[in-house]
């Protein structure tokens, strides 16, 4: 995938970026519930796992908006990846430790799901944090905490405030009346993402959940 360097002098976000990098360096976290009532019912009908479906949904939204794909490359250049793939955690059931693996993204869910199943089967017993040595630079992190239905979640990243990509954490779903709600926490860097962009993310994630029949494969 292409990394497109940003022309800072012609970037309309330049004053915001400089302020939140040079003067008030900060990231922020938002946790919101996503209604997965229809999504969960359809996944159960199809025999499809929720975690990879949600990873695909998050990645779909990330790839729609350059704000979520803005970062520094290995040469220290600021730019935007043309497309990103998800890096996600899986649990070793024996040791109760996790590994971070990745799956190349495809807009076609069937293709992505098959790759996910292959990768998780390959590394399900891994005892390393990063068992796959071929992870490309255009990935972003997703993790799951399916044991806790949290209402808030915050990460503290000590990289001098230079890590610009979003980080997503999925919790345990719960029933609230007739709605099945899944908590999703997202951490953004204010230099590249404002509250508006966070709102767009959660809004489009909800739309994908409600319109799951349009992108999930059917038997």
What digits encode the pLDDT tens for the residues 46-90? 999 999 999 999 999 999 999 999 999 999 999 999 999 999 999
The per-residue pLDDT for range 164-213, each reduced to its tens digit, is 999 999 999 999 999 999 999 999 999 999 999 999 999 999 999 999 99
Element (H, E) at 22: none
Residue ranges and CATH numbers for the domains of the chain are 14-85+135-214 (3.30.559.10)
- Of 199, 173, 176, which Cα lies nearest the Cα of 30? 199
This prediction's pTM: 0.97
Element (H, E) at 51: helix 50-62
Residues 31 and 82: their CA atoms lie apart, in Å, by 27
Tell me the mean pLDDT in the region 1-5: 93
Beta-bridge mates of residue 71 = 79
Catalytic residue, candidates 19, 189, 190, 197 = 190
Residue 189 annotated to the active site: no
Cβ-contact 27, 161 below 8 angstroms: yes
Residues 146 and 150: their CA atoms lie apart, in Å, by 10
């Amino acid at each position: 995938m292409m990394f497109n360097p940003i022309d800072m002098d012609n970037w309309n976000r330049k004053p915001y970026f400089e302020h939140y990098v040079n003067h008030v360096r900060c990231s922020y976290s938002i946790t919101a519930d996503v209604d997965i009532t229809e999504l969960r019912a359809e996944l159960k009908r199809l025999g499809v796992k929720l975690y990879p479906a949600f990873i695909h949904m998050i990645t779909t939204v990330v790839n729609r908006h350059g704000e979520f794909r803005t970062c520094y490359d290995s040469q220290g250049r600021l730019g935007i990846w043309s497309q990103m793939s998800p890096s996600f955690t899986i649990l070793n059931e024996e040791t109760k430790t996790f590994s971070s693996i990745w799956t190349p993204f495809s807009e076609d869910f069937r293709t992505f799901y098959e790759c996910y199943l292959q990768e998780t089967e390959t590394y399900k017993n891994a005892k390393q944090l990063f068992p796959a040595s071929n992870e490309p630079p255009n990935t972003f992190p997703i993790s799951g905490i399916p044991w806790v239905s949290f209402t808030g979640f915050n990460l503290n990243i000590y990289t001098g405030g230079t890590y610009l990509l979003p980080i997503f954490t999925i919790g345990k779903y719960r029933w609230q009346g007739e709605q099945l709600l899944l908590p999703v926490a997202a951490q953004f860097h204010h230099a590249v993402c404002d509250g508006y962009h966070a709102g767009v993310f959660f809004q489009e994630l909800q739309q994908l959940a409600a319109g799951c029949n349009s992108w999930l494969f059917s038997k």
